[in-house]
Structure 1
Amino acid sequence: MSKRVVVTGLGSINPLGNDIQTSWGKVKEGISGIETITKFDMSNYQVKVAGEVKDFTAKDYMDFKEARRMARFTQFAVAASKMAMNDAAAVVGKDVDAERIGVWIGSGIGGLDEFEDQHKKFLNKGPRRVSPFIIPMFIPDMASGRVSIELGAKAMNNCSVTACASGANSIGDAFRVVQKGDADMMIAGGAEASITEMTLAGFSNMTALSNNPDPATASRPFDKERNGFVIAEGAGILILEELEHAKARGAKIYGEVAGYGATGDAYHITTPAPNGEGGQRAMRQALKDGDIAPEDVDYINAHGTSTPYNDLYETQAIKEVFGPHAYQLSISSTKSMTGHLLGASGAVEAIFSLLAIKESVMPPTINYHTPDDEMDLDYVPLHSKPKELDVVLSNSLGFGGHNATLLFKKYT
């Protein structure tokens, strides 16, 4: 018999703040974390803005010597994981058996920042000056590996690398581990730190990024004037726990993970399939998995990247899956405030989805000023709305045709 899986802890480092309370508070107020890029000289770039993490000091969360041997995305993952475990009031070896707690943290790109820095040293100073830690610093699985070491988690340890669906796939796959009874608890989510010179050059040259220099309006999902996504960085971590295990230790519960859908477009390396065909199937799978009727969904935290194709096709997919009910539910993109955290986006948005259920509020899509005739649903424009939420979907869609949908519901 399948186990019920609930969420008992949350942790995040993102452009809105370095803790859940600050981040969620800004989401509800419709405050953006996007600013002019400060990491390096942008004079040769058309792109000028990003969602940078501010005031993050790794040694506040981990040993300074070990932190220096971690890439920035791994530091984010470790910090957010410790935050989530503290929020869950769980100590490995005391509240959960070390062999019954695992880690599944995804990253779309990994430590590309460290690779770029070390490559410059290689070219300018020769191979002997390359760090012996470069390989374990830039490989994407090291976030999961380091979190396991830092927290002593000895069950399933894995990493999903599915571009912008990485965080959502990691949560969904970790959900399956607990659901099957292979672990009592999983530390799951995504981490990314790819605001680098090469990443920006690549995304910019494929015209995926917004070249709007105004931080206040660059990320505008579903708006007719949208012209690309705003890259961002950070991490989101959820503690998934088997229900009876959580109840036995008196854990607080944010909500229940009720369903998961994962599909492939088999269409194009960067462009989503027309009408969001792959996304349609992911949403239908999640609904079927959770035994939820389409008309019971109250709100969707959309992938909503602010790119022409994604926002249109995701809207079309929602209409196909939900039919007339698409006009009764509400949809918003919190990327309007955070920017696009790539492999961490699905995890951060899962957190916002659970908090939306917990506090009965729908986050807004800020910067939505000019409606697009082809997109006529309720995108919760500009301001959050109070609403009792029982069932919420969160979509994540990635380059390569990866589609992931997570279904959350109020715990009863």
Structure 2
Amino acid sequence: MTAPRPTAERAAVVVTGMSVTTAFGRGTDRLRAALAAGQPAFTDVTRFDVGRRRAKRAAHLPGSPVLLDELGDLLTQAIAQAGLDAAAVGQTPLLCARHSDPSWPRRPQESRADGHAAATGSALAARAGLRDARRTYTNACVAASTALADAAALIASGREERVAVAAGYLVDEDVFALFDAGRALADDGALRSFSAGRRGLLLGDGMAAVILESAAAAERRGAEPLARLLGWGRAGDAHHVCQPHPEGLGMARALTAALARADRAPEQVDYLNAHGTGTSYNDSAEAAAVHLAFGAHAPKLPVSSTKSLTGHTLEASGLVEFAVSVLVLQEGLLPVNAGYTGQDPACRLDLVTEGPRRLKPATVVSLNAAFGGANTALVLGAA
């Protein structure tokens, strides 16, 4: 696939603060340890009754956490890690991604005013002392990655010095029932990305917050970057309402655009954090996209889907997996593609299957796709 020409000179974008929570526990260190251990977080669902469901498992925290409270804590932690003072926080906008609240349409009309998705961003911004909530994204599994790309574009173009991005999804009964009825959930209790015999996805709790800023701004205040966001790409294929193009055309275009923006050749990429939902349609199409975008480098490119560990965190997946990619750059450990039972001829990739793989990468890519044919790719570099 022919790459578009790199963009003109622009401000470099770095990550200076990050916090993430998954079913493995609250805080980035819990995810860091879980990636090193390589054991999935799936357990029997206890948050609601699944007695009449085909699938019985998900990756969720105990109890009934409140999304706004969890995201507020994560934003506070990311801001603290970035070392921002109150004045800098007050000049920083927030971009937020989340799943819609299934209880909102059922509430009395008079109580709905503050319950819609956009209100989450405004409430989070107010709690954290941020300037405002510019946008709230609900565009399915590319919501958070789209927010990251928009944040990076705002910074790279000089329109903002820094941007906070937060995203969250908590496993809920409505989505679980919908996916189960559509036979999208794995009834064998494992998410087996790219594997022969894979039976579908499993849901997972996922929440994260990051601070992105220009490298120049970070340097002026002496902040130590965690990683660099080198490039981003977005593309649509509009092939089907809930199936990707079988040749992975949209995903390949997003990958190619991101690499061009990052000024990286395919062979310079050391690891791909794949979308890898464990469904038959996605995984084969994604494998085709990898071969289309990476060409001769595709068979040598290490690939894994950390959804096989954390579950699919829907609108938050782009930010959770962005955090995973930052940790891969920091730790030099490629996460395992868990639940693997053997090669599917349609998914010929260098999958990380025998436990985490030791490798010190300089450049990694995170790929996401969504219903309706929306696709995003993010290219990250070591700090």
TM-score by length of 1: 0.87
Contact 1:220 1:306 in 2 (8 A): yes
Give the AA of the match of 1:73.
Answer: L
Query: Is 1:380 matched up with 2:352?
Result: yes
Query: Is 1:237 matched up with 2:209?
Result: yes
Query: Is 1:115 matched up with 2:92?
Result: no
Q: Deviations over 1:305-352 (max 9, x none)?
A: 111111111011001111110111101011011000000011000001
Q: Aligned-pair distance for 1:370?
A: 1.8
Q: Deviations over 1:26-74 (max 9, x none)?
A: 11110221111001121111120111123676xxxxxxxxxxxxxx333
Shift of the 20–131 alpha-carbon distance from structure 1 to 2, 3 Å rule, reads farther
Shift of the 316–189 alpha-carbon distance from structure 1 to 2, 3 Å rule, reads farther
Q: Aligned-pair distance for 1:197?
A: 2.5
Q: Aligned-pair distance for 1:89?
A: 2.1
Q: CA RMSD in A?
A: 1.7
User: Residue 68 of structure 2 corresponds to which residue in structure 1?
Assistant: 74
Q: Aligned-pair distance for 1:241?
A: 1.1
Structure 1: 5+ residue stretches without partners: 58-71, 123-129
> Match of 1:397, SS?
strand
> Match of 1:376, SS?
coil
Q: Aligned-pair distance for 1:161?
A: 2.1
Contact 2:246 2:284 in 1 (8 A): no
Q: Deviations over 1:174-225 (max 9, x none)?
A: 11111111222111142112x233222211122211122x4xxx11111112
Contact 1:136 1:142 in 2 (8 A): yes
> Match of 2:114, SS?
helix
Q: Which of the numbers 141, 165, 169 marks the counterpart of 1:192?
A: 169
Give the AA of the match of 2:86.
Answer: V
User: Residue 140 of structure 1 corresponds to which residue in structure 2?
Assistant: 117
Q: Aligned-pair distance for 1:276?
A: 0.9
Contact 2:336 2:355 in 1 (8 A): yes
Give the AA of the match of 1:225.
Answer: G
User: Residue 3 of structure 2 corresponds to which residue in structure 1?
Assistant: none
Shift of the 233–131 alpha-carbon distance from structure 1 to 2, 3 Å rule, reads farther
Q: Deviations over 1:140-160 (max 9, x none)?
A: 223322221112211562122
Give the AA of the match of 2:153.
Answer: R
Match runs of 1:351-366 below 5 Å: 351-366=323-338
Q: Aligned-pair distance for 1:133?
A: 4.1
User: Residue 4 of structure 2 corresponds to which residue in structure 1?
Assistant: none
Structure 2: 5+ residue stretches without partners: 1-8
Q: Aligned-pair distance for 1:355?
A: 1.1
> Match of 1:263, SS?
strand
User: Residue 61 of structure 1 corresponds to which residue in structure 2?
Assistant: none
User: Residue 28 of structure 1 corresponds to which residue in structure 2?
Assistant: 36
Q: Which of the numbers 90, 97, 102 marks the counterpart of 2:93?
A: 102
Q: Which of the numbers 5, 12, 16 marks the counterpart of 2:20?
A: 12
> For the residues of structure 2 that align with 1:134 and 1:53, how far apart are their CA atoms?
27
Q: Which of the numbers 322, 328, 333 marks the counterpart of 2:294?
A: 322
Give the AA of the match of 1:111.
Answer: D
Q: Deviations over 1:63-122 (max 9, x none)?
A: xxxxxxxxx3333322221121122122331xx2623x1111112x3212x337xx2xx6
Give the AA of the match of 2:24.
Answer: L
TM-score by length of 2: 0.93
> Match of 2:367, SS?
strand
Contact 2:142 2:369 in 1 (8 A): yes
Contact 1:12 1:83 in 2 (8 A): no
Match runs of 1:1-400 below 5 Å: 1-54=9-62, 72-93=66-87, 96=88, 98-99=90-91, 101-107=92-98, 109-112=99-102, 114-115=103-104, 119=106, 130=108, 132-137=110-115, 139-154=116-131, 157-193=134-170, 195-212=171-188, 214=189, 218-400=190-372
> Match of 1:219, SS?
coil
User: Residue 125 of structure 1 corresponds to which residue in structure 2?
Assistant: none
> For the residues of structure 2 that align with 1:131 and 1:11, how far apart are their CA atoms?
35
Which aligned segments of 4 or more residues in structure 1 are displaced greater than 4 angstroms? none
Give the AA of the match of 1:75.
Answer: D
> For the residues of structure 1 that align with 2:314 and 2:111, how far apart are their CA atoms?
24
**Identity fraction in percent:** 28
